[in-house]
Structure 1
Amino acid sequence: MEKFLLDYDWTVLAPELTIAGAAALLSIIDLVLKPNRGRHILAWMALAAVAAAGYFTAIRLGAPPYEILADTYRVDDFARAFKLILLTGTGLVFLISFREFREEKGFAQGEYYYLLLTALLGGMVMTSSADLITLFVGLELLSISSYILAGIRRRHGESSEAAWKYVVMGGVSSAFILYGMSFLYGLAGSTNLFTLRERLAEAYNNGYESFILLSFFCMLLGFGFKVASAPFHMWAPDVYQGSPTPVAAFLAVVSKSAAFAFILRIFLIAFLFLYQVGPGKETVGWGLWIVASLSMVIGNSVALKQLRTKRLLAYSSVAHGGYLLVPLAALGPTLFESTLYYLLAYLFMTLGAFTVVMVVERESGKGDLSAFAGLSRRSPFAAAGMALFLVSLAGIPVTAGFFGKFYILINTVTSGSADNPGPYWLAAIMLGTTVVSYFYYFGIIRMMYFRPPQMEGKLRVSVGPAWVIGIAVLGTLALGFMPQWVLDFLGTLDWVSAISPLKQGPVGQ
């Protein structure tokens, strides 16, 4: 039955419409404000819009899935859970940004605030898309906004270099994704993910398996760039180092989470049949296992040699991208729950760590690890928070990071068997590389507590960063001390609908 625009329940798009309206309003207000006027009101308006969108998303958790716009846009628990992660991460980034650029000359504060909103909107579109076209539109909206944000410090050479490298590598990754999508459309004659799954399975059985596998690996390569997984991670250290620290935190948490939602949507819908056939299952499985393993090994190994803090966190992000690929590679029984739990833990511990790095860099004027020397004496609060975030990233009990890795390991091991030993190898590599990560994480802790300070006086932590550090500490501890509560809640959400087409009827049709 054909439906018109007014026939849809547009309230399901309240979060996206809130963010889009706020971004448009902020851009207009920024244009009419005088150049010498402060833009702090824009930051508060953007934060209010993020909070409102979070409320609209949270109240619909557990509601039946709904499809809109000719079944190209799907609002289900999968999308809502990822949107809450994206909104929380962006809200915390706004909090640490309030005073960061106030005294910097030539910084386009207005553009910074609404570009963060457009990047967030792109990520939200990616989480709900059930069509290749809307997926790519969301991806490019997020990517283009991120390119500009990386180079928004126009007077800084490192920032311009970061933006240039990001644009080039991002363009290459988009080209591979589009190339892979073109094969899918050519074989199936549709861009809808659920239609693709049905028709690609037929094409695979009719002798087109090589083209389908080629499209899969082209898209895997493109996604590898987006989530900074090895060996496609070469842009991440330079971009994180050159970008403003709040932007680097946004890329490490929000952009990566949106990209994983993108990966799960496509691989578990359009390519789900590949996991169920003999040769295809082995090929796809080994492809994902290799990328996950390389990310864990290279990310943790290269981080050992880093002397600059943001580059170290960039390689740490590469390693954590490998950990997050493990559930998809193993395809265990708690894939969604373990992935969402780890992303939530990763949000708090990574944003908290970047916030402390921002405060220390601003005070010391340098980004080396030596800037953390004696931090425990200059700011016990910041040092204790950073130590907690680092031990959580390392996976030390009882922290959010420990239980995040524990649930991924359980999910991985339970999916292995004598005929399928790959998950066991993944679990072994994950354990081994986690031990390696202790050396560089605890190296920062050693600097904070066992080295004399290089500067005199107390470290000033302004209100916004102090709030973010406090929230991140509470989130990391809560997930560490009450993991079962969070996992039980995630278990109540309807994950099956994320990979299942809706039945014809009054809901969503």
Structure 2
Amino acid sequence: MDTDALLSYNWAIMAPEFTILGVATLLSVLDLFMGKNTSRRPLLWMALAGVAVAMAFVFAELDTDVTSILHDTYRLDFFSKAFKILLLLGGFLVLLLAADYRKKELQEYRGEFYYLFLTALLGAMIMASSADMITLFVGLELLSLSSYILAGIRKKSGKSNESAFKYVVSGGIATAITLFGMSYIFGLTGQTNLFDVVETLQEPVLLEHSFLLVFAFFMTFIGLSFKIAAAPFHMWAPDVYEGAPIPVTAFLSVVSKTAGFIILLRFILLTFIAAAGIDRDPLLVQVQPYVIVLAAATMILGNLGALRQRNIKRLFAYSSVAQAGYILVPFVSNSTQVFELIWFYLLAYIVMNIGAFACLQTLTRDAGSNDVSIFRGLFSRSPWLASAMTIFLLSLAGIPATAGFAGKFGIFMGALGPEPGHYVLAGIMMLMTLVSYVYYFNIIGLMFFRSGGTGGRRISIAPSIGAVLVFCAIATIGLGIMPNIALDFFFGQFDVNEFFMNTGHNH
């Protein structure tokens, strides 16, 4: 590619990615030359500023038409803009959590944490804008490799080392399976660009190899199911969540999971949307039973697993597994509603889950324990912290007037909407939501109706944690009472048809 061709591209549409890349590079250089005992606090503010500027660029691009560069491997469309907003919002809130994380083991590596966090975020953003299997995989690996290091960043902690090892092993297996499935798609079509793949799959000769196409779907879907911690590929999550620092756990629970659903939507839906399965029936219709079983198993195992947990981080790991099951339900309907349902629920999940982790970080630091008993008598020691945690738990449980209820209600009605309605799956979703009340309301009961805790002493809340709690609590209640605010923004700015429109090749 010559210089004229490079200069002809509209590089401005990659401003958010360039911002994150530039800040991550700058932080790594500065950290290299800073003294060992020098405070890394300035690096935090630079990282926060970089994420904020990247978010500003995304909002500035909202009115930009669908644009693709680099032979349609990078796309700026409704999908990329909508999900980058979620990624950057989650990233900003997690960085505020990290500002107050004071474990001694992390102090020495705080500089590494910031730029590794930004490179992981960059990988997720690349996935949101990718329209090619190669760039999708590069983004996925950039996110994964950075996450592996973040999970084990407390090098002197045995649990942190264990979590990193298990994460690397399970992640490597998932990557291999995903790549194996992608290789079949490339072998069948001879293309890596997703739009070229879609067009090639319409050719009659490929109908003779429909079995291989179904096999490729299962391989890629199973590999990506590891990434979102869907059952039965979720067993790494409790150990990794327990061993990783809480800001990293929050990142894996929210930002990394959002990225997993991004690649599922971008790759699975776009690639197989018009593909024919065995006997020439639509492939996505034929594989519905598998997706239904996967979603149901994820909801059931996640919620039942959480019932037995005393370690609060492991409890939230299983809760995160169950939430992944809820988000998988819209994939069954194969309607255009899948985008708005998943986007809204991920938005709700970001604010309620990061808010909950902000409370956990404050409590675990104060008590020096991860046992669920740290919530005993919390209301008497810190009424504001107990009230905020109650809001987040009620939202995670799906109680009305919270963001979690609005998201679950939309998913539930979406499962019943298309003909034939998926009544069994909707019933399992409702039943498992009721089961989740047991462990969520147990924590609320400990906070308000049990005495004890850490000697009855008051709990101080750091300013950065306070900011996260206030924002997340207001957003959780606001999205629950007025979900139309977010949905009107979604429909006002984004056109779902853009997702399937190829500007680069004029298909």
TM-score range, shorter chain: over 0.9
Answer whether contact 1:62 1:77 (CA < 8 A) is retained.
no
Offset of residue 205 of structure 1: 4.8
Q: Within the alignment, does 1:442 sit opposite 2:441 as a pair?
A: yes
- What does residue range 251-290 of structure 1 map to in structure 2 within 5 Å? 251-274=252-275, 278=281, 280-290=283-293
- Number of the residue aligned with 2:353: 350
Q: Within the alignment, does 1:330 sit opposite 2:333 as a pair?
A: yes
- Number of the residue aligned with 2:138: 137
- What does residue range 285-324 of structure 1 map to in structure 2 within 5 Å? 285-324=288-327
SS at match of 1:273: coil
After superposition, the C-alpha distances for 1:439-472 in whole angstroms (9 at most, x for unaligned) are 1110100111111022221011111111111111
Q: Which is further off, 203-212 or 92-101?
A: 203-212
Offset of residue 203 of structure 1: 6.1
- Number of the residue aligned with 1:464: 464
After superposition, the C-alpha distances for 1:336-391 in whole angstroms (9 at most, x for unaligned) are 11111100000000000111111100000000100110011111111101000000
Offset of residue 494 of structure 1: 1.4
Tell me how far apart the structure 2 counterparts of residues 36 and 90 of structure 1 sit (CA, whole Å).
27
Q: Which amino acid aligns with 1:445?
A: I
After superposition, the C-alpha distances for 1:55-100 in whole angstroms (9 at most, x for unaligned) are 0001212421110111111111110111111111111111111131
- Number of the residue aligned with 1:7: 8
After superposition, the C-alpha distances for 1:14-61 in whole angstroms (9 at most, x for unaligned) are 000000000000000001111110100000000000000000001212
Answer whether contact 1:107 1:152 (CA < 8 A) is retained.
no
Sort the Cα spacing of 1:275 and 1:287 in 2 relative to 1 into closer, same or farther, 3 A.
farther
Offset of residue 427 of structure 1: 1.3
Offset of residue 288 of structure 1: 1.2
Q: Which amino acid aligns with 1:182?
A: S
Q: Which is further off, 404-413 or 195-204?
A: 195-204
- Number of the residue aligned with 1:218: 219
Offset of residue 104 of structure 1: 4.5
Q: Within the alignment, does 1:20 sit opposite 2:21 as a pair?
A: yes
SS at match of 1:67: strand
Q: Which is further off, 56-65 or 474-483?
A: 56-65
Paired residues, what number?
502
Tell me how far apart the structure 2 counterparts of residues 496 and 261 of structure 1 sit (CA, whole Å).
17
Q: Which is further off, 253-262 or 62-71?
A: 62-71
Sort the Cα spacing of 1:114 and 1:81 in 2 relative to 1 into closer, same or farther, 3 A.
same
Q: Within the alignment, does 1:51 sit opposite 2:65 as a pair?
A: no
Offset of residue 101 of structure 1: 3.0
Offset of residue 201 of structure 1: 3.3
Q: Within the alignment, does 1:91 sit opposite 2:92 as a pair?
A: yes
Answer whether contact 1:274 1:284 (CA < 8 A) is retained.
no
Answer whether contact 1:342 1:404 (CA < 8 A) is retained.
yes
Tell me how far apart the structure 2 counterparts of residues 55 and 71 of structure 1 sit (CA, whole Å).
24
Tell me how far apart the structure 2 counterparts of residues 448 and 165 of structure 1 sit (CA, whole Å).
33
Offset of residue 278 of structure 1: 2.1
- Number of the residue aligned with 1:432: 431
- What does residue range 91-240 of structure 1 map to in structure 2 within 5 Å? 91-101=92-102, 103-104=104-105, 107-202=108-203, 205-240=206-241
Answer whether contact 1:135 1:262 (CA < 8 A) is retained.
yes
Offset of residue 103 of structure 1: 4.8
Answer whether contact 2:148 2:168 (CA < 8 A) is retained.
yes
Tell me how far apart the structure 2 counterparts of residues 24 and 484 of structure 1 sit (CA, whole Å).
39
- Number of the residue aligned with 1:368: 371
Answer whether contact 1:268 1:499 (CA < 8 A) is retained.
no
Answer whether contact 1:374 1:454 (CA < 8 A) is retained.
yes
Tell me how far apart the structure 2 counterparts of residues 42 and 259 of structure 1 sit (CA, whole Å).
28
Tell me how far apart the structure 2 counterparts of residues 444 and 62 of structure 1 sit (CA, whole Å).
44
Answer whether contact 2:106 2:153 (CA < 8 A) is retained.
no
Sort the Cα spacing of 1:90 and 1:275 in 2 relative to 1 into closer, same or farther, 3 A.
farther
Q: Within the alignment, does 1:385 sit opposite 2:388 as a pair?
A: yes
Q: Which amino acid aligns with 1:474?
A: I
Tell me how far apart the structure 1 counterparts of residues 479 and 351 of structure 2 sit (CA, whole Å).
10
Q: Which runs of 5+ in 2 are unaligned?
A: none
Q: Which is further off, 329-338 or 350-359?
A: 329-338
Answer whether contact 2:105 2:156 (CA < 8 A) is retained.
no
Answer whether contact 2:331 2:338 (CA < 8 A) is retained.
yes
Show structure 1 runs of 4+ deviating over 6 A. Answer: none
Offset of residue 283 of structure 1: 2.9
Tell me how far apart the structure 2 counterparts of residues 504 and 132 of structure 1 sit (CA, whole Å).
16
Tell me how far apart the structure 1 counterparts of residues 91 and 107 of structure 2 sit (CA, whole Å).
23
- Number of the residue aligned with 2:418: 415
Q: Which is further off, 448-457 or 238-247?
A: 448-457
Tell me how far apart the structure 1 counterparts of residues 377 and 284 of structure 2 sit (CA, whole Å).
52
Sort the Cα spacing of 1:58 and 1:106 in 2 relative to 1 into closer, same or farther, 3 A.
closer
Offset of residue 275 of structure 1: 7.5
After superposition, the C-alpha distances for 1:280-312 in whole angstroms (9 at most, x for unaligned) are 344311121111111111111111111111111
Answer whether contact 1:159 1:242 (CA < 8 A) is retained.
yes
Q: Which amino acid aligns with 2:340?
A: E
Tell me how far apart the structure 1 counterparts of residues 32 and 291 of structure 2 sit (CA, whole Å).
47
Sort the Cα spacing of 1:144 and 1:297 in 2 relative to 1 into closer, same or farther, 3 A.
same
Sort the Cα spacing of 1:166 and 1:30 in 2 relative to 1 into closer, same or farther, 3 A.
same
Tell me how far apart the structure 1 counterparts of residues 188 and 103 of structure 2 sit (CA, whole Å).
53
Sort the Cα spacing of 1:416 and 1:402 in 2 relative to 1 into closer, same or farther, 3 A.
same
Answer whether contact 1:174 1:222 (CA < 8 A) is retained.
yes
Offset of residue 211 of structure 1: 0.8
Q: Which is further off, 484-493 or 214-223?
A: 484-493
SS at match of 1:501: coil
Q: Within the alignment, does 1:478 sit opposite 2:489 as a pair?
A: no
Answer whether contact 2:348 2:479 (CA < 8 A) is retained.
yes
- What does residue range 61-80 of structure 1 map to in structure 2 within 5 Å? 61-80=62-81
Answer whether contact 1:332 1:414 (CA < 8 A) is retained.
no
Tell me how far apart the structure 1 counterparts of residues 106 and 139 of structure 2 sit (CA, whole Å).
32
Answer whether contact 1:331 1:412 (CA < 8 A) is retained.
no
Q: Which amino acid aligns with 1:390?
A: L
Tell me how far apart the structure 1 counterparts of residues 427 and 501 of structure 2 sit (CA, whole Å).
33
